[in-house]
Chains A and B, each alone.
Chain A
Amino acid sequence: MHPSPTKDFRAKEFRYSSFFFTGITGLATYLIVALLGVVLVNIIIHGWPGLSWRFVSTIPKKDVFDPATTGILPMIVGTTIRVVVMTVFVLPVGVITAVYLTEYAHNTSVMTRIIRTAVNNLAGVPSVVFGLFGLGFFINFVGHNLDLVFNNGEQAWGHPSLIWASLTLAVMTMPVVIVATEEALKAVPPGLREASLALGATKLKTIFKIVLPQALPGILTGGILAVSRAAGEVAPILFTGVAYYMSDLPTHLTDQFMDLGYHVFVLSTQSPNIDQTQPILYATVLVLLILTFALNIAAIFVRSKMRRNMRSLH
């Protein structure tokens, strides 16, 4: 039987239609969770045997499709660097925007509404369009002009690289950070702000010394969610920096890089022998999933903890 409605409101007589439809909707809910479960279990079962320390710590020097010698260290490193660089850019901008929206802006002013609309729209732009944007703006425009100004037209910036991929992802994940930070800022009790003002602090001081530290877990959640979203994205980096194969780890921000998600794509489509590469394909998927899920679960955990703390503050 499915969980019955809350007791105090339960209708007196038993109704079949009610029972039936509650069951159906409940079933749908379970089905979604079950689908997720099937995906996870399938990937874990097939991926686990292929996972080893050697696999995650090896730089493939010859053939990425050979299970005996290949590894995914450069992909892990590439994905990590690109999300770290992205975070450096997206966190300050996202947090400051959220500060403006919650602490300064009038909720009904035209500017606020435009900013909010823009944030929401940014969240809905297709990832492949971000890729085109990265190519058209960062590489062909910013990079190209940097070269013209600083390098006499010799190309150092105007080509796909880590920095442009990271910046593209930063633009893409900005809404995630803004929304999470806003939520956290709104949850800070107004009494704290008033107390700080009453003690003679300026508004800016109050925000930086009282409000933001209180909201830190929420900002953290936003950061983690952004990183998790960005870590799994492939389409925005396709034309902005990812490399099919590199023999060395990237050492400069203007280098290209290998990437876990893109490597999943490469392994599942380019391999000369499907059966042979299946184990490493699954293992790579598992690593990517572990990475994004660990981040997601961390975010959920931090957020629920924050909500509980805030409730006790009110």
Chain B
Amino acid sequence: MSENNNQTKPDRQVWTGIKRGQSWHPVEWVAEKLIFLVSLTAIVMVFLIFAFVTREAVPLLLGQINSAATQTVIPLADMDKTPPEVLQAYLELTPEQFASMDRDTKLLLMQTKLDAAKEAPDDKDARINTTEWRYLFWPYKWTGYDQPSFIWQPVSTIKKYNIVPLIVGSIKATVVALLFAVPLALAAAIYVSQLARPKFKEVIKPAIELLSGVPSVVVGFFALIVIATVLQKMFGYESRLNAFVAGIGLGFAIIPVVFSIAEDALTSVPRSFTQAALALGASRWQAAWQVVLPAAIPGVFAAIVLGFGRAMGETMIVLLASGNASIMSWNLFDSARTITATIAAEMGEVVAGGDHYRILFLIGSMLFVVTFLSNMAAQLVMERLKKRLEGKA
């Protein structure tokens, strides 16, 4: 057993170190290994989530998807002249499917390609594969637009998949949420952990935690029906549903997160810090503000980062309350379309395995990566903080 294990009580160390007690039994050994294996589930799941969400986006990343409206067509008459490999790729079939399919069916498939080509527009952009990186992230001057723009129009003859408006939308709503929730939750955390009477604390903590028990669809509903109306009356802006309303709704959802992490960090600052400050003549508030808070500042940072991750990933609230217009605008009172709401709203109607489907998985995996990183950062900071405080204590 390692020597530097100073945060567990000594008797716990002995216990986890104990092998199997007096009468050893092979069944015990098997059971222990099983317990260990089951405990790996969490790791496996995180890995699987990453693997399977990105798996659906992989063909896109490899450039195997072509979303061009007009594609090269092979006339029906040329079917027998075309080499089988080319034909198989053209009809988007797997080798097994191709081998087992009869001629008539292949002809039928070719006919659908022809029909699709007939409907395709005569447009300068029709041959563009819109799933290429530059169309996903850079502005482009599409037919019918006055200037190069970031356009998310996935259901269209020429499908435009620019992700930037969605990222902007997500950030807009998240920023509002943080501006609303962080000051409130932090103040409450300082109050509850440092200034309030213990009795009061026992009542108020569960009450704030109860807020996290409100399902997000209920918060979204409330933002849509009530908050939107109230805020519009207060501020008099034009569009009723916008990033601001959605952000306030999101704020409701992240207050408990920020609060509980910050409160945890503040409480983990040793009592001796406060006592020393008070002994030197500081007021209760000065001790909290100038001694405890600075000591716990990494925890506060972690709380904000986790709140950010939660706000970025929240779905139902923004779906209901943000207006969902994919505008490239940083104005908070404009409507916003977030990554999460886009996935939730569009997944139901996409062609399974098609380009739109893959794009939605792509932005899903981007979201996963962002929240994963913010989680890791928050954890790292929190761990270091605890270690430092315990080392000092």
Contact = CB atoms under 8 A, between A and B. Distances in A.
A80 B251 CA distance: 29
Contacts of A133: 48-49, 52-53
A201 B21 contact: yes
Nearest to B7: A107
B316 A234 contact: yes
A125 B197 contact: no
Interface in A261-293: 261-262, 264-265, 268-269, 281, 285, 288-289, 292-293
Contacts of B348: 238-239
Interface stretch (B22-30, B65-73, B149-157): B22-30
A213 interface: no
Nearest to B204: A29
A111 B276 CA distance: 39
Interface in B13-48: 15-25, 27-28, 31-32, 35-36, 38-43, 45-46, 48
A33 to B, nearest CB: 5
Contacts of A265: 217, 220-221, 316, 319-320
A53 interface: no
A190 B364 CA distance: 45
B307 to A, nearest CB: 11
A108 B49 CA distance: 26
A276 to B, nearest CB: 14
A262 B316 CA distance: 10
B314 to A, nearest CB: 7
Interface stretch (B87-95, B115-123, B140-148, B187-195): B187-195
A127 interface: yes
A31 to B, nearest CB: 6
Contacts of A120: 375, 379
Interface residues of B, number: 112
B286 interface: yes
Contacts of B64: none
Contact of A264 (B43, B213, B218): B218
Interface in B344-393: 344, 347-348, 360-361, 364, 367-368, 371-372, 374-376, 379
A150 interface: no
Interface string A93-121: 10011011111111110000011011111
Given A36-B210, A268-B221, A129 B52 contact: no
A33 B208 contact: yes
B346 to A, nearest CB: 11
Interface stretch (A8-16, A58-66, A214-222, A246-254): A8-16
B371 A96 contact: no
A68 interface: no
B11 interface: yes
A92 B37 CA distance: 13
A163 to B, nearest CB: 17
Given A42-B226, A265-B217, A265-B320, A93 B53 contact: no
Given A118-B46, A121-B376, A21 B215 contact: no
Contacts of A35: 211, 252
A128 B343 contact: yes
Contacts of A11: 278, 281-284
B41 A126 contact: no
B102 to A, nearest CB: 18
B344 A106 contact: no
A245 interface: no
B313 A129 contact: yes
A109 B175 CA distance: 38
B35 A96 contact: yes
Given A129-B364, A203-B21, A115 B40 contact: yes
A193 B219 CA distance: 45
Interface in A27-52: 27-29, 31-33, 35-36, 39, 42-43
A248 B209 CA distance: 37
Contact of B367 (A42, A126, A264, A281): A126
B272 interface: no
A75 interface: no
A115 B37 CA distance: 11
A34 B49 CA distance: 38
Interface in B247-276: 252, 255, 259, 274-275
Interface in A193-224: 193-194, 197, 200-206
B217 A127 contact: no
Given A21-B289, A100-B35, A268-B320, 20 more contacts: A3-B197, A6-B197, A9-B278, A17-B285, A39-B214, A100-B36, A106-B1, A126-B367, A129-B49, A129-B368, A132-B360, A133-B52, A136-B53, A204-B27, A234-B215, A239-B347, A239-B348, A265-B217, A265-B316, A292-B215
17 contacts: A3-B196, A22-B285, A29-B204, A32-B185, A32-B211, A39-B222, A43-B222, A96-B38, A100-B36, A115-B43, A128-B367, A132-B360, A141-B52, A201-B21, A204-B31, A233-B215, A289-B214
Interface of A: 3, 5-6, 9-11, 15, 17-18, 21-22, 24-29, 31-33, 35-36, 39, 42-43, 92-93, 96-97, 99-108, 114-115, 117-133, 135-137, 140-141, 171, 174-175, 178, 190, 193-194, 197, 200-206, 228-229, 231-235, 238-239, 261-262, 264-265, 268-269, 281, 285, 288-289, 292-293, 295-297, 300
Q: Which 3 A-B pairs have the closest CB atoms?
A: A232-B215, A126-B313, A28-B187
Interface of B: 1-2, 4-5, 7-9, 11-12, 15-25, 27-28, 31-32, 35-36, 38-43, 45-46, 48-49, 52-53, 55-56, 183-185, 187-188, 190-192, 195-198, 200, 204, 206-211, 213-222, 224-226, 252, 255, 259, 274-275, 278, 281-286, 289, 306, 309-310, 312-316, 319-320, 340, 343-344, 347-348, 360-361, 364, 367-368, 371-372, 374-376, 379
